Chain A
């Protein structure tokens, strides 16, 4: 064999090896998703799988603008009560069922009426649907709802094959069939979810993998070790404490995006007898607490600076952030003065926090900082399920808890601080705030909405039923061969355009 033919052979072998390897993408997840039915599921991690499995009517950009996905365009009627959507032509579900206006109507109906549906509140404003023609659907609303498009950019907008959903009913999640880039192949609980490229996907050219395998690896250290060993190609939710070592590793890449959610202190201001203490009764005491905390210190000490300090339901990077209320600098003297004014110079309060070591650390940092202002904090560790129960029941004074965040600002604020809000565990109630937030969710005009949210956040800042502390950053670590990954603030992994080279 001549040298030339030998090198050709080697090149050919290498090329075939590249193909064989580039075909499968392995992603390490921080948790095992729950049931894979977009109408029933509730976990963040489940949505990461959906991003490859189920396309939505619309999607978002990293800047949170709504862009076409299965719907190519939409218009609002002048009264804001009819949303007319034009659907993408020639799309089929993974079982061959055509995607058309009938399918959209079926899906909206399922989200609204399936007994187990978790999407009911998200599509509550939809009164009816009207199939105009195969590619056009009118969605009629009972009341104007500015949040609807953002809901349709998430689980409520995911389109399931009507054929499969009718056949499987409530068990759809065991073998989901959607219209996304990959179709469901196999799932072993707590071990793996395997998806295979859907050849007839409408955007198939952008998909560079034959299969994608999601592996739940709960331990952060082990997840990273798997990436380093090359057993997975990328991992989500890298620990902030591992950022430095990943940055130092030339074989790895890192991407990050500030999340849509927040972490903070929810104060019990009206939820039963436990609200009858200085922190529940007097906004000055809560303001003192807020002023005694250096949010930057929490970020540096616990998260090595990887997260974003904050003081509102929206991160400072969000277009909805109220610039007139910047993050307050720590001011122990002013905190002391406020406490004196309220007549409780040395209040004591119990903060419940989940048993997660990182959350406990945050609680301890807060405890140490507010002590300097004369506030005694007792940290009570509660396992997460218990913490939620206590919070709902009003059996807490302050709860250190967060929210994963929603694309539309309404999702981060309305249900927490309006009088009848579904998750208003603080039981804060201020008719003025209700009026503003109700108005903000009905207007489709961005400037009007911003104005309402600014007014509401100003009142909330003064009343402080929630003391916002920081915003988590989604951090992904990727193998050096992975290219084209775009970080989004919703923490999802979108595989269009992502590729792997050897």
Chain B
């Protein structure tokens, strides 16, 4: 297993380099001068020149790239043009926030999506299946920003149960932290639950018709045991892939949800950075996200092997 993970990590290196090149040059294609975006209203030519020099924007692109990647390899992702804070510090501030949101959303998604998928596969074609499908479809179709604003108006403004937006670090005040994150996690989670439900359902349908499930029933096992122990375990393999990919996506930042609930996470950071042409921040975040994605993929492959030992042999 360790050898497998090691091999995968080595293969990941060229991927990450490729991504770094791609991100760097792609965003330089964006129209709009970062220094002008930074200067805003006060566009004094003298200060613009100074800033261009300071942030090495006058150098040829390849020089800028090697400068950046060279520093990045030493753990220095540069300084945000806008806030003048080190990018690594910003990422360090935002990453825990986004991880917390992603985990909570994922828990909500799994708690809703997995049972719904199992039940609707088991009762395929009955009203239960239809109901689960309708709920799932609406979960997928309702836009997050609309659901978010509606929930704020109902839960915070009308009922006053939860704070309307904002963020509380978990270790400062766990209860308040969970309270502020509940609504955004729910909004995100419901959308994911729908995806998860659809995948679980189709995987379960395939497995429930297979021979070994028939054998298990013939042995006289209870239905609970057949479904939850024998069928579900195999059906979980593709579902785990979906879950890890969803988690990767969540880490990339739930842009709209973070914007609505004013959660200072990755999504909000990257959107602001793009609009301000804050190159260093965009590059740093994309690089981190890419690495997170690759790690999640390796994790999901490793999990297959735990779920299905036969795969380890291949």
Contacts and interface: CB of A to CB of B under 8 A. Distances in A.
Interface of A: 32, 34-35, 40, 42-43, 115-118, 120-121, 170-171, 173-174, 188-192, 215-219, 221-222, 225-226, 228-231, 383-386, 388-390, 392, 403-404, 422-423
A226 B164 contact: yes
A215 B166 contact: yes
A242 to B, nearest CB: 13
Contact of B50 (A115, A191, A219, A388): A115
Given A120-B46, A389-B31, A225 B276 contact: no
Contacts of A386: 31-32
A82 B110 CA distance: 73
Contacts of B50: 115-116
A388 B50 CA distance: 18
A118 B42 contact: yes
A222 B256 CA distance: 13
A120 B261 CA distance: 39
Given A116-B50, A120-B44, A189-B83, A388 B32 contact: yes
12 contacts: A35-B84, A42-B42, A118-B44, A121-B42, A190-B264, A222-B149, A222-B261, A225-B156, A384-B37, A385-B277, A388-B32, A404-B41
A403 B275 contact: no
A147 B18 CA distance: 54
Contact of A42 (B40, B269, B272, B275): B40
B288 to A, nearest CB: 16
Given A35-B82, A221-B149, 11 more contacts: A35-B84, A118-B47, A171-B84, A191-B264, A219-B259, A219-B260, A230-B160, A231-B163, A383-B275, A386-B32, A390-B31
A219 B262 CA distance: 8
Given A120-B47, A225-B153, A422-B43, A189 B261 contact: no
Contact of A222 (B39, B40, B260, B276): B260
A385 B262 contact: no
Interface string B147-169: 00100110011001001111100
Contacts of B37: 384-385, 388
Interface residues of B, number: 47
B90 interface: yes
B32 A222 contact: no
A229 B164 contact: yes
Contacts of A42: 38-42
Contacts, number: 130
Contacts of A171: 84
Interface in B213-261: 259-261
Interface string B134-152: 0000000000000001001
A229 B259 contact: no
A34 B82 contact: yes
A392 B39 CA distance: 12
Contacts of A231: 156, 163-166
B36 A218 contact: no
A189 B276 contact: no
B268 interface: yes
B93 interface: yes
Given A34-B83, A35-B84, A229 B275 contact: no
Contacts of B45: 422
Nearest to A261: B41
B36 A189 contact: no
A29 B85 CA distance: 21
Given A35-B83, A216-B262, A389-B33, A191 B167 contact: yes
Given A189-B83, A422-B45, A229 B269 contact: no
Sorted nearest first, the 4 A-B pairs with minimum C-beta distance are A385-B32, A191-B264, A385-B37, A229-B156
Nearest to B50: A115
A423 B277 CA distance: 20
B94 to A, nearest CB: 8
B42 A226 contact: no
A218 B41 contact: no
B157 A229 contact: yes
B207 to A, nearest CB: 44
B111 to A, nearest CB: 27
Contacts of B82: 34-35
B100 to A, nearest CB: 13
A386 B156 CA distance: 38
A190 B156 contact: no
Contact of A225 (B39, B94, B164): B164
A417 to B, nearest CB: 15
Nearest to A40: B84
Contacts of A34: 82-83
Contacts of B33: 385, 388-389, 392
Residue among A215, A231, A423 with the highest chain B CB neighbour number at 10 A: A231
Contacts of B157: 225, 228-229
A54 B82 CA distance: 21
A40 to B, nearest CB: 8
B237 to A, nearest CB: 39
B40 A43 contact: yes
